[in-house]
Chain A
Amino acid sequence: MAISNRRTRRLKLLIGAAVIAMAIGYLVYGGLQDTIVYFVTPSELEAKGVSAHGKSLRLGGLVKEGSWVREDGTLLHTFELADETSTIRVRFRGIPPDLFGEGRGALVEGTYGPDGIFQAKTILAKHSEEYKAAQDHAAEDSRAIMYNSVIKGSQTQ
């Protein structure tokens, strides 16, 4: 039926827009609920304690020197992420990215278990460095560092 009344038409338009706005709000809110991932530092994680269990989190810190242990024959890695005040143990199964190493920053995504160990699903490369030059390394050094980071059996110091 053709609706000829202008006021009714405008009302319909408004209702339509409101419905759409609510749909978007619902979609976004509902969508974000289970998928949003919070950044935490080791100190913040320790402070959160129990309330952080089970949630999907991103933990960023410095890989503590001497803490990186690779179980031979498997893809299991354990290491510790630290900031000024706290240290969190991390367990990861898989292949760490090339920029990962002791004494460097790392970002892991996963869940914090009641056993106090962070189960990491992925280790994220630090984006800001991906496309920039190694300004602070001399050309020779950076090559050696990179080569060694891939070829196992030689730790970079």
Chain B
Amino acid sequence: MISQLGSILLITALAVAIYGIAASVLGARLQRWEFVASAYRAVLWLFALVTVAALLLVMALVTYDFSIAYVARNTLRGTPLYYRVTALWGSLEGSLLLWQWLLSLFSAAVVFSQGRKIRDLMPYAVAILLTVSAFFLFIMVVPANPFRAQFPVPPDGRGLNPLLLTTSMIFHPVFLYLGFVGFTIPFAFAIGALVTGRLGEEWIVATRRWTLMAWYFLTVGILIGGWWAYTTLGWGGYWAWDPVENASFMPWLMGTAFLHSIMIQEYRQMLKTWNLTLVIMTFMMTLFGTFLTRSGIISSVHAFSNSSLGAYFLLFIGLLLLFSLAALVYRMDDLRGQPELDSMLSRETTFLANNVILVVITLTVFLGTMFPVIAEAVRGVRVSVGAPFFNKVTVPLAYLLLLLMGIGPLIAWRRASWDNLKRNFTYPTLAAAGTALIAALWTRNPYALITFAVCAFVTATIVFEFYKGVYARRKLAPGTSVLRALWTLFTRNRRRYGGFVVHFGVVLTILGIAVSSNFAVEKEVRVTRGETVQVGDYDLRYEGMRAYDEVYREVVWTDFTVMRGGRAIATLSPGKSFHPNEQQPIAQVGIRSTPWEDLYMILGAVEQDGSAATLKILVNPMVMWIWIGGAIITLGALVTVIPGRPTRRSAIAASEATGPAPARTLEYSGSR
């Protein structure tokens, strides 16, 4: 019953979406606003229908309705309630439904909040949103139906792979999808801008919050994925340049470029074509990423299935890309006549360099990821392109990017005078050099030294900016406390100072990545009971083995006493769990995390009587800073999106003091 009901809901939703597209476009072209209003209502109806469908599937999951194939695949009796609910996005069909639900939610929000503004543009933007919805609904109706019935009804389900039954996997797909779907909004508005010829800042300002929010969720989603790989997959690292990891990384890179370059358009009305191209490419990358993951074209750790879905995706991406580029070319003439770059030393150039580097990284990651597919198709050779390639090409560029992150916010618009450069960058450069010298006392690793120097540079620029801001504010209003001054900085100019917080979070994350990559210690050992093995600063004594028989798994633990300097400081119990439906045991990694380093133990094998065990032990320094950086990015992003009061120009000008002010008075404030 649920099966038929669910399928009908999806088909109806598809019909509503198609109707909405027609009504929206026709209404806009014929200037019949009642059609457009009807299309907007269709968007709301779409949301209602998809919500009911999603709730239906959740209900089926919660009540163990094994007559639905999806439920049987993703749950089994005894799965805790919250994992039954989150099984909604446990595998392919359900995750498509989640995507569609988020898209219809965002579409409804857009119609609701902006229905009356930018009347000319909106119908086309809505049409694009509905087109993407129609595609996802189509593939749910035809090849990948979440409500597909199964006969005979099995007595029990197979259950989700236990690797996916973790807290991180509750959030990782949702955050990623919030990011991916979030980028659909600026894309839709960009197309609307192209179609209507309203190529000013309108479409950017309308979607700025969406862009920021999408970027934030994508960033955190990727970090959570890394966290999952580190703690659950248990191979010792957090990023393997797996094709599916890259599939989420490429949209992030493009999205970051887009996020920054729209600031240039807001301030200087430059880079219009570039922004339009960027947002189109960002969105294409999200679709392509989904294609990579779903089609199994490059088999990897994530590949859900090997269906004909890939062909549909490719076709849709191809058509949408062609349409977008055609629209761009159509408006080519209207996109001329923009201000020029005044100088190589300016904020505009820095942002442009940032964009170029991000695009270069994206393309190299793309080519590296697709190379095996291309090589096999063209030359018939089977090759693999792994971490060595990606690290080799991206690391130097990442350093450049980090450096630009420090320079960008401080350097003057249009043309930076030597005086301006001296004033802003003397202290940070000294800080960088000093840090490098101090670090050189301890290590000669060039990557580490460069990392420390650049991180110090960026941190110094951020601290310096806050200092200048607080100082200026206290001069304006003598008697203000430092705390109050800081608070006012944030409330008066959320975007700028929230951005600084985000940048600082990025610095911490990169620091964690660089140090853990360069200074990790790894050892494979075989220990007998009572024997102590030394890894890094730690002495690890193998105490013995325990085996447990739980309802749905058998677990083997090996217990270790962790000692340092002769004192026992912890116990770790790496183990392995065996599940009835899984061919391979699941590693239960033993991790002891401190801000300084992580002690990480993976059980390989253990004798039947527990007399000896083989393990892989790692000491990963400063991994915790990757996650701490993520938390700081969250904080900064929150600050940036909260609506603030309109700013007073004089206060800002006094506190920024970055050289000649830009031509337009569109303030870089938190007023929207």
Contact = CB atoms under 8 A, between A and B. Distances in A.
Interface of A: 2-4, 9, 20, 23-24, 27-28, 31-32, 34-39, 58, 73-75, 93-96, 98-99, 125, 127-134, 137, 139, 142-143, 145-147, 149-154
A20 B356 contact: yes
Interface in B593-615: 604-608, 614-615
The 9 closest A-B pairs by CB, nearest first: A95-B604, A39-B382, A35-B389, A134-B583, A35-B388, A31-B393, A151-B608, A139-B580, A37-B384
A2 B16 CA distance: 52
B582 A27 contact: no
Nearest to B233: A130
Nearest to B242: A127
A150 B340 contact: no
B608 A152 contact: yes
A27 B605 contact: no
B306 to A, nearest CB: 9
A143 B554 contact: yes
Given A127-B299, A143-B554, A38 B583 contact: no
Given A24-B363, A37-B385, A149-B585, 16 more contacts: A2-B342, A20-B356, A20-B359, A31-B368, A31-B393, A37-B384, A95-B614, A96-B604, A133-B583, A139-B581, A143-B554, A146-B583, A150-B556, A152-B605, A152-B607, A152-B608
B654 interface: no
16 contacts: A24-B363, A28-B393, A35-B385, A36-B389, A37-B383, A37-B385, A37-B386, A39-B382, A75-B526, A99-B583, A127-B303, A129-B583, A129-B584, A134-B582, A146-B585, A152-B607
B244 to A, nearest CB: 11
Contacts of A4: 340
A137 B381 CA distance: 33
A93 B364 CA distance: 33
B239 interface: no
Contacts of B614: 75, 95
Contact of B392 (A35, A93, A137): A35
A24 B605 contact: no
B395 to A, nearest CB: 11
B425 interface: no
Contact of B389 (A32, A74, A96): A32
Given A27-B364, A31-B368, A153-B608, A94 B340 contact: no
Given A4-B340, A125-B584, A133-B582, A31 B606 contact: no
Interface class of chain B by DSSP = mixed
Contacts of A75: 524-526, 614
A151 B606 contact: yes
A35 B386 contact: yes
Interface residues of B, number: 49
B519 to A, nearest CB: 21
Interface of B: 158, 161, 163, 299-301, 303-304, 340, 342, 356, 359-360, 363-364, 367-368, 371, 381-386, 388-389, 392-393, 524-526, 554, 556, 576, 578, 580-585, 604-608, 614-616
Contact of B606 (A2, A36, A38, A152): A152
Contacts of B360: 20, 23-24, 27
A142 B585 contact: no
Nearest to A2: B340
Contacts of A95: 524, 604-605, 614-616
A139 B304 CA distance: 22
A38 to B, nearest CB: 5
A150 B605 contact: yes
Given A35-B388, A37-B383, A146-B578, A137 B606 contact: no
B426 to A, nearest CB: 27
Contact of B585 (A23, A37, A150): A150
B607 to A, nearest CB: 6
Contacts of B576: 98, 150
A27 to B, nearest CB: 5
Contact of B583 (A32, A35, A39, A142): A142
A128 B163 CA distance: 15
Contacts of B616: 94-95
A24 B364 contact: yes
A150 B584 CA distance: 10
Contact of A32 (B385, B607, B615): B385
B492 to A, nearest CB: 33
B300 A143 contact: no
B361 to A, nearest CB: 9
A8 to B, nearest CB: 11
A150 B386 CA distance: 28
Contacts of A96: 604
Contacts of A98: 576, 584-585
Contacts of B554: 143, 147
A133 to B, nearest CB: 5
Contacts of A94: 524, 616
A133 B72 CA distance: 13
B123 to A, nearest CB: 33
A9 B340 contact: yes
Nearest to B360: A24
B210 to A, nearest CB: 29
A3 B173 CA distance: 47
Contacts of A28: 363-364, 367-368, 393
B388 A133 contact: no
Contacts of B615: 95
Q: Which of A28, A58, A139 has the most CB of B within 10 A?
A: A28
